[in-house]
């Protein structure tokens, strides 16, 4: 359960611990919506009777920003058999479409 008085304001509403952790022994902590400001080393320290160190573990957190990748699909009609045909637009329309696709590909190549 969150205890706002004991918790840094940057983590309020984003931290969740395992319910009934003392009974189960599962001391998992979940940090929701991490961002680059959360990067760093986190240390979990378990004491017995508030003074005897029982266990200590460290975790280094790296945050990678969410990326949206959009792919463009180009179709090369010469690789499809039988080749699809463009209808309408005049006798040279099929060649215009092929040329336009090739120009798009070459201008977007990295």
Q: What is the pLDDT of residue 64?
A: 80
HSE value, Cβ hemisphere, 13 Å, CA-based, for 1: 4
* Series of mean pLDDT values for 10-residue runs along the chain (110 residues): 67 85 80 88 86 88 71 51 51 50 49
Q: What is the pLDDT of residue 95?
A: 52
Number of CB atoms found within 10 A of residue 31's CB: 13
Q: Which two tokens stand for residue 97?
A: 């479409």
Q: What is the pLDDT of residue 109?
A: 47
Report pTM.
0.47
The per-type count for the chain, helices as H runs and strands as E runs, is: 2, 4
Helix H segments across the chain? 21-24, 93-108
What does the domain layout of the chain look like in residue ranges? Answer: 4-61, 77-108
Q: What is the pLDDT of residue 44?
A: 85
């Amino acid at each position: 359960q969150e205890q706002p008085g004991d918790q840094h304001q940057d983590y309020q509403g984003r931290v969740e611990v395992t319910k009934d952790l003392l009974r189960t022994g599962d001391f998992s902590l979940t940090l929701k919506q991490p961002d680059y400001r959360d990067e760093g080393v986190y240390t979990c320290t378990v004491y017995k009777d508030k003074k005897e160190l029982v266990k200590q573990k460290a975790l280094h957190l790296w945050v990678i920003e969410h990326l949206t990748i959009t792919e463009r699909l180009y179709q090369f009609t010469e690789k499809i058999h039988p080749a699809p045909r463009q209808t309408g637009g005049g006798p040279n329309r099929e060649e215009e479409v092929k040329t336009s696709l090739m120009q798009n590909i070459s201008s977007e190549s990295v």
